[in-house]
Amino acid sequence: MPFEFNSAFYIKLGQKGCWEADSLEFGRLRIGWRNQTIDDINAGRWELIERQLRLEQDGKPPQVATTDLNRLKDITLSKPEDVWITFHGAKLWWARLSLGPVEEDHISKYRTTLDGWHDLSQSGKLLVANDLPGKIALLQGFKGTVCRVRERQLLSRVLEGTREPKGDVLDIFSFH
């Protein structure tokens, strides 16, 4: 059975992974954006938030604030039809977000997952990072907080637990 989703995102759960264990244990997708209020985020006051981000990033190119704003929108507007992935303990973990607002506790802002984080594919295969196709495993090295997963079909096969066609692993080394 195909693993279907509308959009796929990779997220780093906190600076140097500081929120990984808590996020996985309690079924949350923890985020930063400390200077933006829950009310502004949930009300979608994007112009205000963009101005705040530009002030915070004084001296950096304007596209940095635009990128941060767009990633915050991705998190805030994500529906259960999307899939989120992260890495922890040498495994890939995936989750879908429940409907509902961004919330906040004493640790950070967060979205609640639909039914927790999973380290198994649909077929029950453990998602060990070393066994993943290179294009998926390379996401671990992403320097930002959130990015879209471009290799949608490949991720779908990984989350189904089906074997990837030859070439998926080696394509990262091809020169064009």
Backbone dihedral angles phi then psi of residue 76, each to the nearest 5 degrees: -65, -40
Q: Which residues contact 176 (CB under 8 A, 6 or more apart)?
A: none
Residue 138 identity = L
157 close to 83: Cβ distance less than 8 angstroms:
no
Query: How many domains is the chain built from?
Result: 1
Residue 169 has pLDDT above 70, yes or no: no
pLDDT tens for 108-121 read: 999 999 999 999 99
DSSP 164: P
Q: Does 93 fall in a domain?
A: yes
Query: What pLDDT shows up at residue 118?
Result: 98
Any domain includes 38: no
DSSP 109-163: EEEEBSS--B-B-TTS-B-BGGGS-HHHHGGGG--SSEEE-S-HHHHHHHHHTPP
Region 65-83: mean pLDDT is 96
Any domain includes 1: no
Residue 64 lies in a domain: no
Answer yes or no: is 47 within a domain. Answer: no
Q: Could you tell me the residue range of the domain that residue 149 belongs to?
A: 8-33+81-173
Rounded Cα–Cα distance for residues 62 and 54 (Å)? 7
Distance CA 52, CA 9 (A): 24
Element (H, E) at 168: none
Residue 130 located in a structural domain: yes
Q: What is the mean pLDDT of residues 153-157?
A: 95
pLDDT digits (tens, 9 = 90+) for 4-39: 999 999 999 988 889 999 999 999 999 999 999 999
Task: Determine the pLDDT at residue 36.
Answer: 96
Q: How is residue 117 written in tokens?
A: 């984080």
Q: Is residue 89 part of a domain?
A: yes
User: The whole model's pTM is what?
Assistant: 0.89
Domain annotation covers residue 19: yes
